[in-house]
Structure 1
């Protein structure tokens, strides 16, 4: 029987569970893993099982072709083959956006696609232009310019890709006319008289839509495209959180992940007698300190979470502050340990001095970010993560 030593604190284990393909019985696979973990003594009340969104969506066969996506775009914005459509604030990611852009171009093969970039970076920190170059162009052209105004070939510092050129070529390959614009003011897209606008940024999408809706009535967010179905292929998140699945297919975010985890939680309790929390995670909320890239290209870190961890804050006392405080008072080490344990059991406001510096964070975001770091882009072959010691069930 496996047993962690008492001196081991919070930890996470990547769990290998075999290949997941479209149509796999993921519910049974996860239930089997929970039973195995329980039999090996690794599962306990209060543990968290974290499942990457990609295997949930793949098992659901939640895939859609670029042709099907183009039809959804035409329907949502009532576009014609020769319409002019603008895409405001896309992120510079081949995996996240290239097939969406291809679908948009397919929707208007005789028309025009305007790609409206922010600068110097996109929403999640991918560099479009070096900051000093962007600053000079901004001053010279009054906050709006095109690739024709740029001297030099500026590529992403990590991928080596020039996204202005890449996105232009994607549009041309579908027969549409490309227009690349760099401007941080979304309202100025009205100067180009688009027949419809797709708001492609992720986290501030509703704010951007509110600004544009007053001047361009026919606009939508990515979440409003491919989100009207009642079973896969569809998602309540629409095209948000989608990824390149193959050369012509997008994998959408999981469909009704909340229902999936709640049902699985009940089944695991029936089979093991253990009360565990479960979440389906996407990108962790991690900002790389070297590149400045913010990894959260999904609309949220957790697509689904069971009640115990959903919208619950991770809080705690500031241990190092209390150690210094009690040591200065002349307390012994044994007394300090006992006093900190007593403090941690007290109910208190998050603004109290004992919690100072311990920023409250949503439990599901912390757990999802940890899970994403453990699994990478599922390249560790561990789409399931067992987390112990971070979530503490209420007494």
Structure 2
């Protein structure tokens, strides 16, 4: 009888740089880990590769000047509204530097009391006691008077001050306004760059219907500028700060990478191994209230065996209801038999209540993100065994 279910291993690799053969590095690192740790490959094992090393190896970078040039072509007035940017130095500061370098004036509209993924911009306790509510439009002067220079407890930074200094350092004028209605920006300008991640299509369509000249971050750098990198599907979304003058974009060759890694592993092991690229996990921190997912998707590329949703019964429900009178080995065998007989699609049935109705790559990618972390673990590859196992698999 198997006594262990899912096993997750962070796989150490060499430091990956531009033009490295990523597929070879991933496969060689897995084979070295196999020898070191003594595991064997099995069908339905999963190999996951962080999007960062895919983007790095393909050299998918753009500069601040590339961003400025693309935006000048889209907004020749050089006076734009920047709507709902994420409040993140890593994610948005270099993008904002490019916007400011290309424009003469920015009206920056921020949602409140936090951005799309939960980064705070004001003290919610003060907001509750103030004259303002979530439907208010708050000017920058009113923000300063009511909320002061609010410091985020985790970063120690006020992002309004930080973004103002950054914009003005590029000789660009800036005006801040705080509103949860993106139409508010049309009171200031008709040229708008929307910066939200997960509602991007809705936002651009809404403002376009109002007659605005509008683009989203997902529509910037979709093609190369002067030989730069690009991402045809996501543009600047999913990018990260590389240097003070450069951004690493979300990868564009991920599907070719996962298919090549899968091909090599099947050839080497004889097992049907699935492969995916993952970025941010799709989970929320209950203390900091930050929703981790600042990428446009969790997995921009994966092999076909990872498509779909979990199809699981809730053991607790079956135990407490259908087999309420059973205990011990008799209960266990009855539940294992129930698992073996389950339908291929349990959607909507009471027996699944309490299971997680999310796509597989979102769940697996979240597991991988928590395993690899975002710092110095040095494990950009994650190897998962037993994810698709259940109690009936002996």
TM-score (ref. length: structure 2): 0.91
Q: Is the 8 A contact 2:16 2:57 kept in 1?
A: yes
Write the deviation string for residues 212-262 of structure 1: whole angstroms up to 9, x where unpaired.
Answer: 112243111111111124997111211000000011100000113123212
User: How far has the Cα of 1:142 moved from its partner?
Assistant: 6.9
Distance 2:30 2:212 in 1: 50
User: How far has the Cα of 1:33 moved from its partner?
Assistant: 2.4
User: How far has the Cα of 1:57 moved from its partner?
Assistant: 0.5
Q: How does 1:179-190 map to 2 (within 5 A)?
A: 179-190=175-186
Q: How does 1:353-392 map to 2 (within 5 A)?
A: 353-391=350-388
Secondary structure of the equivalent of 2:304?
A: coil
Q: Is the 8 A contact 1:64 1:233 kept in 2?
A: yes
Q: Does residue 174 of the first structure (1) align with residue 170 of the second (2)?
A: yes
Which stretches of structure 1, 4 residues or longer, exceed 6 Å deviation after superposition?
none
Q: Does residue 34 of the first structure (1) align with residue 37 of the second (2)?
A: no
Q: Does residue 95 of the first structure (1) align with residue 93 of the second (2)?
A: no
Q: How does 1:288-303 map to 2 (within 5 A)?
A: 288-303=285-300
Q: Is the 8 A contact 1:50 1:279 kept in 2?
A: yes
* Cα distance change of structure 1 residues 326 and 242 upon mapping to structure 2, 3 Å threshold: same
Q: Return the match for 2:332 from 332, 337, 361.
A: 337
Match of 1:275?
272
Secondary structure of the equivalent of 2:306?
A: coil
* Cα distance change of structure 1 residues 89 and 6 upon mapping to structure 2, 3 Å threshold: same
User: How far has the Cα of 1:370 moved from its partner?
Assistant: 0.4
Q: Does residue 65 of the first structure (1) align with residue 60 of the second (2)?
A: no
Write the deviation string for residues 140-170 of structure 1: whole angstroms up to 9, x where unpaired.
Answer: 8971122211222211121111011111111
Write the deviation string for residues 60-88 of structure 1: whole angstroms up to 9, x where unpaired.
Answer: 1111110111112222x1425xx211110
Distance 1:256 1:56 in 2: 8
Write the deviation string for residues 167-194 of structure 1: whole angstroms up to 9, x where unpaired.
Answer: 1111100011011111111111111124
User: How far has the Cα of 1:10 moved from its partner?
Assistant: 0.8
Q: Does residue 156 of the first structure (1) align with residue 152 of the second (2)?
A: yes
Secondary structure of the equivalent of 1:21?
A: coil
User: How far has the Cα of 1:133 moved from its partner?
Assistant: 2.9
Answer with 360-369 or 341-350: which moved more: 341-350
Distance 1:43 1:37 in 2: 11
* Cα distance change of structure 1 residues 43 and 163 upon mapping to structure 2, 3 Å threshold: same
Secondary structure of the equivalent of 1:50?
A: strand
Match of 1:252?
249
Structure 1 gaps, min length 5? none
Distance 1:177 1:217 in 2: 21
Match of 2:127?
134
Q: Is the 8 A contact 1:34 1:43 kept in 2?
A: no
Q: Return the match for 1:116 from 109, 117, 130.
A: 109
